[in-house]
Amino acid sequence: MSVLDPPYEEDVWGPRRVRMVAAVLALVFVVIVGRSAWVVFNGPDRSADDAAPVEQVRRADIVDRDGQLLVTTLQGWSLAADPSAIWEVDEVVGALKSVFPNLNTTQMTQALSDKKRRFVWVRRGITERERRAVKELGMEALRFVEEPQRVYPNGALAGHLLGYTGVDGDGLEGIEKVYDERLKAGGDPLRLTIDASVQFVLEQELQAAQEQFTMIGAAGIVMDANTGAVRAIASWPTSDPRKRGDEPAEAKTNRAINVRPELGSIYKPLTVAAALEAGKLSVTDRFDVSAPVKIGAVTVRDPHPLPNARSVTASDIIVYSSNLGSSLIAQRIGPEALKAFLGDLGLLGGVQINGPQTASPLPPAEWNQTSMATVAYGHGIGVSPLAFAMTYTPFATGGDLVTPTFIESSDPAGVKRKRVMSRETAATVLAMLRRTVTDGSGKLAEAVGYEVAGKTGTAEKPTPDGYDPNRNITSFAAVFPASRPQFVVLVVLDEAEPRTGATRTASVTAAMIAGKVIARAAPLLDVQPVLGAPAVQTVSLQGTDGQGSEGVAQ
Amino acid sequence: MNRIVMVGGLVVVAGLAVAVYRAKLGAEETQGRIDGLKAEVTKVEKEIAVLKAEEAYLTRPERIGPIARERLGLEQATPGQYVAPEALKQRLGEERLTLPPTPEAAPVAPATDGPAEQ
């Protein structure tokens, strides 16, 4: 070894290698310890969970005001097929036809013949019985797919209002459509104002009406006059949401919301209220309705003579339903004032209902003497029954128009109210309505203990050739109980003719049905019957005999 | 000294590796239990939904009305069955009169507010 040689050559690299290995090991140690500490203090890495599929939100239930379930979502089954696994398409289609008789075999054969496809829907939303029947077929190419299904435990009850969803869960009609986004978001049930028991009573009475009268349709509404809460709304023929619109057209039509009939004389109290409010009418004023009068281009006459027709009061005009008297009253205020008043009542549109919207009204094309004379007794103007029912709320609330709502709310501030007439006017007209039931055309509407106050309406149906005297819309609009009004009821019957051959006026058709509805619905609505003489203010109404009569008012 | 540190470090690393492995296994087991519970919750929720639907189906007015009428003899309340509050006291008194006397009640003086005293 030379002195020039580096000393301990092999020892120079030895410590360096050791240090390097130690450094690497130390680094690994630090990484492992660091990672362990991270896991200990921060938990496992959940980034994988973020990529997990989000569970489908369950569509919210719909319940009535008491929480009774009206619509819910349950897991159901749909049937699909794998065309690539089918050898004999005709055999499969034939077997499916035995389970689903209305299966479109041509379409299904075509779909299942496409061997490139691995998935074809056969039927969405099958019943348990159908599922069992398909299982018994024992075909491997058929498979069941679990899907949420809307279920209606009450069957067709409130079917028109509730509406239905499509196979993909989208709301297509009624509440299901109007509140589709809210229901899709899931969460708490959507609580309606509907009372299932009252709804049942209303639907049952409309059905029973069909047994007493031949008729092509009917509608009914029960509404809380003070809150606007619609407790029942029905259209006959009924619609079954479970059929998802696969029904005849007459059953699909919601006659309470989507039709705009001319409703006839139930407009007369509105005409009287308009004139009273304008200061152009007094309860003691008298009119001669004994002979026809030409107003504008129309000659107005009463189809039936009134008692003491040469001298009748506004009350008599309501009680005995005088077309001529109503037109004469309207003449005092003129077409523009009548239009403005009816507009205030929402009969010309612009009312935003918390729920399904009503069909747009059909007002007269021009407001002149002629249209004014006919609108005064409910001809020449068409609105939905729901829109009209609202116009009787001022008679119950002392002058406030209350907008209908279908969503239950405990917040009194949510009630939409608008002052449309004075308390005196409301009380006066209410007294006339009560007298109509006790003494006039609405006697059959009386429900013992519930002081029905209302008005009949019989309107000939318009045709391209004029009005048809053989086809009527009969209606009855009511407020009860008259001494402390709480509810508005409206019944509308389309072409109702008593099977007994009796006259087809509202006094024997719609009035009777309204009375039956009130008698059964009032206890369910916690309306206390009037026991003995009501302690209420009375309004003096001058009658045809000149002696005056008294009507119950607020 | 270095050797001791090295060996010690290796033992610690091995221990930590085992601990992390066990922690991972435990986490997977816990996750499995959570998934199982979630599935059970979903299943129970579905069962509750079915039960609620069945309850609504069985209590629908169309079905309950006839049952209440035929089996329980219940009818809808008529206005005549309502009583004003001021008449309630008298009515209660009348009903008390119709009650058969119990052995214990027999020697007891009649109630002071009942019609029996009048």
Q: What is the pLDDT of residue B96?
A: 60
CA distances from A35 to A28, A43, B16, B21 (A): 10, 11, 10, 12
Strand partners, A144: A79
- Residue A480's pLDDT is what? 96
Question: Are the CB atoms for B12 and A29 separated by under 8 Å?
Answer: yes
Q: Which residues of A touch B52 (CB under 8 A)?
A: 69, 72
How many Å apart are CA A552 and CA A534, to the nearest integer? 9
Rounded mean pLDDT, B48-67 = 93
Tell me: pLDDT of A14 over 80. no
Comparing alpha-carbon positions, the chain B residue that sits nearest to A28 is B13
The band of A52, judged by pLDDT with boundaries at 50, 70 and 90, is very low
> How many residues are recorded in chain B?
118
Please state which of the ranges A24-38, A275-289, A474-488 shows the lowest mean pLDDT. A24-38
Nearest chain B Cα distance for residue A506, angstroms: 26
Fold held by A62-191: Penicillin-binding protein 2a (Domain 2) (3.90.1310)
Read off the pLDDT of each residue in A259-267 and give the average, rounded to a whole number: 96
3-state DSSP: chain B helix, strand, coil percent, rounded to 5?
A: 75, 0, 25
pLDDT beyond 70 at A99: yes
Tell me what the mean pLDDT of segment A25-52 comes to: 67
Distance from chain centroid for Cα A223 = 11
Q: Is A30 on the interface with B (CB under 8 A)?
A: no
DSSP H/E element including A209: helix A196-212
Confidence of residue B84 (pLDDT cuts 50, 70, 90): confident
Where b means 16+ CB within 10 Å and e means fewer, A79-107 reads: bbbebeebeebeebbebbeebbeebeeee
What pLDDT is attached to residue A45? Answer: 54
The mean-pLDDT minimum among A38-42, A173-177, A239-243, B45-49 falls in A38-42
For A24, nearest residue in chain B (alpha carbons)? B6
Q: Is A152 on the interface with B (CB under 8 A)?
A: no
Report whether pLDDT(A196) > 50. Answer: yes
Q: How far apart are CA A201 and CA A522, in angstroms?
A: 11
Angle between helices A9-42 and B2-58 (to 10 degrees): 20
Tell me the three state secondary structure of residue A494. Answer: strand
Confidence band for B97, pLDDT divided at 50, 70 and 90: low
pLDDT of residue B104: 54
pLDDT tens by residue, A214-257: 999 999 999 999 999 999 999 999 999 988 777 888 898 999 99
Q: How many CB pairs under 8 A join A and B?
A: 87
Q: Give the helix/strand (H/E) hosting A325.
A: helix A323-344
pLDDT per residue as tens digits for the range A370-396: 999 999 999 999 999 999 999 999 999
> Residue A12 pLDDT > 60, yes or no?
no
Question: Which of A73, A197, A448 shows the shortest C-beta gap to B61?
Answer: A197
Residues of chain B with pLDDT > 70, as a percent, come to: 75
pLDDT at A29: 78
pLDDT at position A44: 54
The rounded Cα B1 to chain-centroid distance in angstroms is 70
Give the C-alpha separation, A454 to A318, whole Å. 10
| Chain A residues lying within 8 Å of B23, measured CB to CB | 39-40
Encoded tokens for A247:
């029904």
pLDDT tens, A125-142? 888 889 999 999 988 899
pTM of the model: 0.81
Residue type for B8, please? Answer: G
CB contacts, 8 Å: A37 with chain B? none
Task: Answer with the residue of higher pLDDT: A515 or A354.
Answer: A515
Which residues of B are less than 8 Å from A28 in CB distance? 13
The reported pLDDT for the residue numbered A40 is 62
Q: Which helix (H) or strand (E) holds A498?
A: strand A497-498
Measuring CA to CA, how many Å separate B19 from each of A32, A33, A43, A320, A470?
Answer: 11, 11, 14, 96, 93
- Beta carbons of A39 and B20 less than 8 Å apart: yes
Q: Report the gap between the CA of B99 and the closest CA in chain A (Å).
A: 27
pLDDT of A272 reads 98
Is B44 part of the contact surface with chain A (CB cutoff 8 Å)?
no
Residue A413 or residue A193, greater confidence: A193
Q: How many residues does chain A have?
A: 554
pLDDT above 90: percentage of residues in chain A: 69
Secondary structure, 3-state, B43-62: HHHHHHHHHHHHHHHHCCHH
Q: Which residues make Cβ contacts (< 8 Å) with residue B45, sequence separation at least 6?
A: none
| Contacts of residue A283, Cβ cutoff 8 Å, sequence gap at least 6 | A313, A314, A315, A428, A539, A540, A541, A542
Among A94-108, A426-440, A473-487, A535-549, whose mean pLDDT is lowest?
A535-549
User: What pLDDT is attached to residue A550?
Assistant: 38
CB nearest to B57's CB, from A28, A153, A449: A153
Residue A531's pLDDT is what? 73
Nearest CA to A283 out of A238, A315, A251 is that of A315
Among A477, A542, A547, residue whose Cα is nearest residue A316: A542
pLDDT digits (tens, 9 = 90+) for A313-339: 999 999 999 999 999 999 999 999 999
Per-residue model confidence as pLDDT tens digits over A83-97: 998 989 999 999 999
- pLDDT value for A548: 39
- Contact (CB<8Å) B2/A18: yes
Q: Any CB–CB contact under 8 A between A133 and chain B?
A: no
Angle subtended by helix axes A323-344 and A268-277, to nearest 10: 70
For helices A510-524 and A196-212, give the axis angle rounded to 10 degrees: 160
CATH number of A199-552: 3.40.710.10
Give the model's confidence band at A549: pLDDT under 50 very low, under 70 low, under 90 confident, else very high.
very low
Q: Report the candidate in A479, A480, A482, A476 with the shortest Cα–Cα distance to residue A513.
A: A476
Q: Give, in degrees to the nearest 5, the angle at Cα A132 between A127 and A134.
A: 95
- Residue A470 belongs to what H/E stretch? strand A466-480
Distance from CA of A65 to the nearest CA of B (A): 14
Task: State which residue of chain B sits closest to A448, comparing Cα positions.
Answer: B79
Q: What is the pLDDT of residues A495-544, one digit of tens each?
A: 998 888 778 889 999 999 999 999 999 999 999 898 764 444 445 555 44
As a dihedral over the C-alpha atoms of residue A150, residue A154, residue A156, residue A159, rounded to 10 degrees, the angle is -60
Q: Where are the domains of chain A?
A: 62-191, 199-552
Interface contact A25, partner B, CB < 8 A = yes
Chain A residues touching B62 at Cβ < 8 A: 154-155, 157, 200
Instruction: Among A296-300, A317-321, A537-541, B47-51, name the one with the lowest average pLDDT.
Output: A537-541
Interface test with A, best of B12, B52, B54, B63 (most A CBs within 10 A): B52
What per-residue confidence (pLDDT) applies to B100? 59
**CA–CA min distance A69, chain B (Å):** 6
**Around B46, how many Cα atoms within 13 Å sit in the side-chain half-sphere?**
14
